[in-house]
């Protein structure tokens, strides 16, 4: 009998765990919004309803809270575990109705608002090159093996550790991670247009999962990296495959990755407590309704946690920074014949449980005179 009582008690604690930990039992997302020129951080429910967090916090007198509303998303992230998460739970439990007559003025239909990038703007945006074996193969012209018969994604002979950054384990046959920067100035929101650069026609997509940092991560081991993730969003790592016109110093990652509008992000951030396993999410990218990428994050060569560890051994990552974890196979440049963005196209990137990032493609902007 005592064992039964103990088991029941444990189940009660487990079922109440969200409230014990100050978490909401209702899944939610977080985003930035504009309403007639006024910007605010919102709690998103069912991708349809948005609660203005600051206004709800001020209006909700019971239960009383000493938690100040976040001034922006970075402030929310920094104080999430020291009161903001618990206050969101109180708001969701007490603000009603969310639809119909009597709805508070700070509850909005998503479609009535302009969605802004969920982080405005990351201090650092790190992206990962070729983190799926099938993507490595397609970028190698369809070859599934490398020199010496090694599988795409495996380390070539002579590969060593990167001292102080990436220590290879004896049984690790994978190549080392490869990272590059994207400029925070090129971030655009869900619904905003990807603009074709003047004179450039080989513009490609890469539908990626973005990990949003919760706090400063400096030389973090992979087994602790999850403690430094706030949540997840989407990024389309738009890429210019047109080249620079010469081969001096190899490929040009500034030109290839950093034209204005080349970092669609969002639409929202899903806190990590609502993403049980970031390594098992379905990925789908469509261009004008046609499926181009269809994969799963389980196919990554290096996991989200390994990538965060690697990046944090190069530079300190901070709250609100975004790490994009690489694209699965199905990019346009690898197709025969290649398929590239053109004005009038519609780009749609979806990750299971995280959301859908939709962006139209528009013609180049006329050069300034």
Q: Which residue has the higher pLDDT, 169 or 10?
A: 169
124 C-beta neighbours (distance < 10 Å), count? 17
pLDDT at 212: 98
Six-digit token string for 368: 């300034």
What is the average pLDDT value for the chain, to the nearest integer?
93
**DSSP line for 34-55:** EETTEEEEEEEETTTEEEEHHH
- In sequence order, the 6+-apart residues with CB closer than 8 A to the CB of 261 are 186, 188, 192, 193, 194, 195, 238
* Average pLDDT for 131-140: 97
Asked whether the beta carbons of 347 and 287 are under 8 A apart, the reply is: yes
Among 159-163, 190-194, 244-248, 311-315, the minimum mean pLDDT is found in 244-248
Q: How far apart are CA 241 and CA 247, in angstroms?
A: 13
Q: Is 80 exceeded by the pLDDT of residue 104? A: yes
pLDDT in tens, 235-258: 999 999 999 999 899 889 999 999
- In sequence order, the 6+-apart residues with CB closer than 8 A to the CB of 360 are 193, 194, 344, 345, 346, 347
pLDDT at 203: 98
Q: Is 90 exceeded by the pLDDT of residue 369? A: no
pLDDT at 367: 65
pLDDT at 108: 98
Q: How far apart are CA 330 and CA 85, in angstroms?
A: 38
Q: Is 50 exceeded by the pLDDT of residue 159? A: yes
pTM of the model: 0.92
pLDDT in tens, 11-36: 333 333 333 344 557 999 999 999 99
- In sequence order, the 6+-apart residues with CB closer than 8 A to the CB of 94 are 60, 62, 63
Q: Is 60 exceeded by the pLDDT of residue 165? A: yes
pLDDT in tens, 42-80: 999 999 999 999 999 999 999 999 999 999 999 999 999
Beta strands in the chain (DSSP E): 29-35, 38-45, 49-52, 107-109, 114-116, 125-128, 179-181, 187-188, 194-195, 203-204, 207-213, 229-236, 239-240, 263-271, 282-287, 290-296, 322-324, 346-351, 355-362
* Average pLDDT for 306-322: 98
203 C-beta neighbours (distance < 10 Å), count? 23
Report the percent of the chain where pLDDT is more than 90: 91
For 91, 107, 173, 273, the CA distances from 32, given in Å and listed in that order, are 18, 14, 42, 20
* Average pLDDT for 170-192: 97
pLDDT at 175: 97
Q: How far apart are CA 131 and CA 175, in angstroms?
A: 10
Report the percent of the chain where pLDDT is more than 70: 93
pLDDT at 23: 55
How many alpha carbons lie under 13 Å from residue 164 in its C-beta half-sphere?
A: 3
* Average pLDDT for 209-218: 98
Q: Is 80 exceeded by the pLDDT of residue 185? A: yes
Q: How far apart are CA 62 and CA 83, in angstroms?
A: 16
Beta strands in 241-354 (DSSP E): 263-271, 282-287, 290-296, 322-324, 346-351
Among 7-11, 144-148, 246-250, the minimum mean pLDDT is found in 7-11
Six-digit token string for 336: 């025969």
pLDDT at 217: 98
pLDDT at 296: 98
- Residue 368 — very low, low, confident or very high, per pLDDT cuts 50/70/90? low
Q: Which residue has the higher pLDDT, 367 or 41?
A: 41
Question: Which of these, 29, 31, 50, lies nearest to 41 by C-alpha position?
Answer: 31
pLDDT at 15: 36
């Amino acid at each position: 009998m005592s064992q039964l009582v103990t088991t029941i008690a444990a189940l009660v604690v487990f079922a109440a765990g969200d409230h014990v930990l100050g978490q909401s039992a209702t899944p939610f997302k977080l985003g930035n919004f504009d309403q007639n020129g006024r910007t605010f951080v919102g709690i998103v429910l069912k991708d349809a309803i948005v609660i203005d967090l600051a206004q709800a916090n001020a209006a909700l007198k019971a239960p009383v809270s000493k938690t100040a509303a976040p001034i922006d998303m970075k402030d929310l992230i920094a104080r999430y575990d020291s009161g903001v998460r618990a206050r969101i739970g109180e708001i969701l439990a007490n603000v009603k109705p969310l639809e119909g007559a009597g709805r508070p003025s700070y509850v909005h239909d998503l479609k009535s608002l302009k969605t802004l990038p969920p982080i405005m703007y990351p201090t650092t945006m790190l992206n990962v090159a070729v983190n799926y074996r099938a993507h490595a193969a397609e970028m190698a012209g369809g070859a599934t093996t490398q020199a010496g018969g090694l599988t795409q994604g495996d380390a070539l002979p002579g590969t060593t550790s990167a001292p102080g950054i990436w220590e290879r384990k004896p049984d690790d046959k994978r190549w080392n991670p490869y990272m590059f920067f994207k400029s925070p100035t090129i971030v655009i929101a869900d619904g905003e247009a990807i603009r074709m650069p003047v004179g450039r026609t080989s513009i490609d997509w890469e539908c990626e999962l973005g990990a949003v940092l919760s706090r400063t991560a400096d030389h973090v081991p992979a087994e602790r990296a999850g403690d430094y993730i706030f949540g997840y969003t989407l990024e389309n790592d738009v890429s210019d495959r047109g080249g620079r016109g010469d081969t001096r110093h190899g490929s040009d990652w500034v030109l290839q990755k950093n034209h204005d509008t080349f970092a669609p992000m969002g639409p929202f951030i899903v806190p990590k407590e609502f993403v049980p396993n970031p390594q098992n999410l379905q990925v789908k990218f469509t261009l004008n309704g046609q499926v181009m990428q269809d994969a799963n994050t389980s196919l990554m060569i290096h996991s989200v946690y390994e990538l965060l560890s690697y990046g944090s051994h190069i530079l300190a990552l901070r709250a609100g920074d975004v790490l994009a974890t690489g694209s699965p196979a199905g990019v346009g440049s690898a197709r025969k014949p290649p398929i590239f963005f053109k004005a009038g196209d519609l780009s749609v990137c979806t990750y299971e449980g995280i959301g859908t990032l939709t962006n139209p493609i528009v013609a180049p902007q006329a050069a300034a005179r």
